Chain A
Amino acid sequence: MIEVVTAAAVVLLLGVLADAAAGLLRRLTGRAEGWWSPFRRLAADVRATTGDGDRASVLEAGGAGAAVAGAALAGAMAAGAAGGTLLALYLLLLLVAFGGHLASGTPLTRAGEERGARARRAALAAEPAILLALTGIFARWHTGDLEAIRGAHRVLGLGIQVGPAEAATGVGLAALALLLSAALRLPPAPGDEAGAQGGGALSVTVARWAGAGAGALVAASLILSDGPVAGAGWPVQAGPAVGAAAAAAVVGGLFSEVLGILSARARVVAGGAVLVVAGVATTLVVVA
């Protein structure tokens, strides 16, 4: 199905956008010379891989591949190119996270080891938050079937438009919590220390693009997608959802960059805050 391959391309492009937003924030905070620093790093990794023989391990490459496969399916499912349910979506996003952490699992430096373990710890907060966010969406429409949710969007209106106001706010917050928890689950960005460049870093970058892009597309589609998408019309046909996904990718990229700056303790607090947002969203939907 060409739609799934298109979804793979869309999520990777959204991930690139998230990286660009992160680069811009890095530039604005004076930690990089230009907003393009992630792409300069990418070019250096490609050079190190092809020229210097700094190859990827099979786990790194396979992890990145698994993340892309999961992101493509999750994106296609959320946008309406394939049928599915919220729980299938959760498990596909788990494949994206699993692949991403495999890609960052065999670093060549001690600092890379620490970054990897820190990122896996962040999953502690991300797992309940992502589940709570999905529960909020489920509670809003009383179904986990994505086609039924899109049908409700078509007939009744989008989740953030249909009243009461508390429920609409809850759905919006649930999508935000989903986006932020997807960012919490990302593998760590490659480090700048000596020895951290090459195929491994390249694999992690691709896995991060897949994770960030899938999070953005899924979050946006769950509140804005209103019909099945198919053939050459997709993604143009799903314009509003893809546009919102681009905005979400920027937000996700900025959040993930902020997480990278924070101390370990502050990161735990940020994870807790996402969990609170998800909890508030679900409560609002249930109470309404």
Chain B
Amino acid sequence: MIGDGPLVASAVLGPAVASVAWLVLSRWPAARRTTGGTAAGLAHAAAWVLTARLYRGDTPEWRGLSPGLLEATILVVVELGVMLVALRTERLRPGQATAVFVALGAATSAVAYGSFSSSLAVMGLALPVPTLAVISAGLVEGRTGLRGALGLIAADLVGLVGLSFLVADAGSSLAGPVSSPGVGLLLAAAALKAGAIPGVATWALTASGPGGGVLGTVLRGQGMALAAVACLQASRAPQHLGVAALGAAAVLAAGGAALLARRSWDAAAAVAGAAAGVPLLAAGMGGAVGARAFLLLFPAFLLASALLVSLVPSDPPAPGSRTGGWAGPPALAVAAASLAAVPPAAAFPGAWLVLELASARAATDPSWLLLAGSAAAGLGLAGVASVPLIRAARPRTGLTVAAVALSGFLLYMGAAPVRLTLGWLVRVERAVGLPEILPTAGAPDLPALPEGALVPAMAAGAVVAMALLVLGRGVRAQDAGFEPTVVLRLPAPVAGAAAAGRRAVDRLPVLVAALGLAGAGVLALLIRLVAQAAGQGFL
């Protein structure tokens, strides 16, 4: 049996080791796939074993890293998403693919390192690493690869200020429940990293194309890890009306942006952005039910957004190359449905819990109804607007097989949330110290849909679909591209000014100078945070 130290070390450092192996062997495709793939697989297996041991009640530890069940689960989910999008990464240009692989590995290790540590200073040190990795990979691609970089640095700045507040208010460099404005700032940084804020940071990176989209997967994971720290570790899920309002407004704006998307990657960023706002709304709502909704939502969001990114149609296969046939679009439909909380897909139980909680609170404060309405409308718009994206999916065979398997799991997550997560939820909630949810208190509780009714309804739908296919004795191949739903024509002066502004920001020297300046700000804050933590005994 593997010891605690090697296990935690493999889980944390494994992704970085795999990416280094990939880089060293990048000239030899078979060798890099075998070695890098094996290293990544072993690291992922270590993360699973670690999660299983924590579930059993063990407390593995290594050099000050003592992960909880929640943090280990976040790593497992992030790695699952990264491995799925990695299947697409090989299709990028050779130099870009290597840079993206290295960035994915380094960023995943940094997310693991930061979230496994209970030291706020270590979290601060790990915070800018994924941004640095993404910028390094973006430089290979040029201007397009640097979209969102300024927003990501801004997220790091906000996050570091938040951590600084936490250290000052707690009087300790260790994460623990404290009432501090730092919690709200960390959640704002999480919103930027999760891609919830339209047009900036991870949203802009994802919209830039396949390279950025793939890298966005690990940043979304970092966003969820930050939100977990803010909502559960650094506080016992307090209510943050501002963060909840930000989350709800972001969902609504993302729903509108999904309808206005002109390119498939814009639509993908918007649909994933709409879903990113819901866990933040849950974290902002706080309380035992808000925290439970967050815990249900983040795995669904991370897995479904990775599935979406892996299938977004942007690189149509060359004529004659093998694709996964008709199975790709349904898998993408499940991903989009999961993100838009369409029942019975993955995010539905968590989103339902958030909306129910908001409407329950509306009995005393009607403004919650506005937040619930905005989020529900945003999800609805994102769901309908994802149709042009779904129909154009043409994944290759290997990716299709993995995507279909994951989409089946996403449907199971949404259809049987209690069976799948109850034991895990109870353990995480107990470890974090959340109050128990008492059904007698009238709090909304799962399941959202009566399980006995779901099966016959799904069966009725399946019979109809099969009847339609049997009638035609087969399936028609579909050949459709992405078509925007709404084409917004701005007045000429406004469009001209927007284009000029974009050109000015997009000029590489200007962008690099701005990034350097912002990076210096991050470094200064980092030094300040470490010095502040050192004053509390960190060193």
On A, residues with C-beta under 8 Å from B are 1-5, 8, 46, 49-50, 53-70, 72-73, 76-77, 81-88, 90-92, 94-95, 97-99, 101-102, 105-106, 113, 116-117, 120-121, 123-124, 127-128, 130-132, 135, 138, 142, 144, 185, 198-200, 202-203, 206
Contacts and interface: CB of A to CB of B under 8 A. Distances in A.
Pairs of residues from A and B, 10 with the lowest C-beta to C-beta distance, nearest first: A69-B461, A65-B465, A55-B472, A65-B461, A82-B453, A61-B468, A8-B460, A55-B476, A4-B456, A57-B478
B468 A64 contact: yes
Nearest to B462: A65
Contact of B391 (A59, A97, A185): A59
Nearest to B471: A49
12 contacts: A4-B456, A50-B471, A59-B330, A61-B469, A65-B468, A72-B456, A87-B352, A90-B376, A91-B351, A92-B449, A102-B391, A132-B373
Given A61-B475, A199-B469, 9 more contacts: A1-B453, A2-B456, A57-B475, A59-B390, A91-B376, A120-B387, A127-B381, A131-B373, A206-B464
B340 interface: yes
B471 A102 contact: no
A12 B312 CA distance: 34
Q: For chain A, what secondary structure do more than half of its interface residues adopt (helix, strand, loop), or is it mixed?
A: helix
B468 A203 contact: yes
A206 B453 contact: no
Contacts of A127: 255, 376-377, 380-381
Nearest to A86: B359
A54 to B, nearest CB: 7
Contacts of B472: 49-50, 53-56, 198-199
Contacts of B391: 59, 102, 105-106
A206 B466 CA distance: 13
B359 A138 contact: yes
Contacts of A206: 464, 468
B457 A69 contact: yes
A87 B329 CA distance: 28
B363 A62 contact: no
B312 to A, nearest CB: 16
Interface in B347-393: 348, 351-352, 355-356, 359, 363, 369, 372-373, 376-377, 379-381, 383-385, 387-388, 390-391
B450 interface: yes
A56 B466 CA distance: 11
B443 interface: no
A197 B21 CA distance: 55
B454 interface: yes
A98 B476 contact: no
A76 B453 contact: yes
Contact of A94 (B259, B380, B454, B461): B380
B483 interface: yes
Contacts of A46: 471
Interface of B: 255, 259, 326-327, 329-330, 333, 337, 340-343, 348, 351-352, 355-356, 359, 363, 369, 372-373, 376-377, 379-381, 383-385, 387-388, 390-391, 448-450, 452-454, 456-466, 468-469, 471-478, 480, 483-486
Contacts of B363: 142
Contacts of B464: 64-65, 68, 206
Contacts of B480: 105-106
B342 A94 contact: yes
Nearest to A117: B485
A123 B379 CA distance: 12
B475 A94 contact: no
A56 B474 CA distance: 8
A119 to B, nearest CB: 9
Contact of A4 (B342, B356, B388, B457): B457
A138 B356 CA distance: 12
B106 to A, nearest CB: 38
Contacts of A87: 352, 355-356, 359, 372, 376
Contacts of B369: 135, 138
B341 A62 contact: no
Given A4-B453, A72-B461, A58 B329 contact: yes
Contact of A120 (B255, B355, B384, B465): B384
B380 A105 contact: no
Nearest to B469: A61
A49 B473 CA distance: 9
A57 B465 CA distance: 10
Contact of A55 (B327, B465, B469): B469
Contacts of B478: 57-59, 106
Nearest to A9: B460
B473 A55 contact: yes
Contacts of A128: 373, 377
A62 B471 contact: no
B316 to A, nearest CB: 16
Contacts of B462: 65, 69
A98 B471 contact: no
A56 B469 CA distance: 6
A206 to B, nearest CB: 6
B381 A124 contact: yes
A130 B379 CA distance: 13
A202 B480 CA distance: 19
B476 A57 contact: yes
Given A54-B472, A58-B469, A203-B468, A121 B450 contact: no
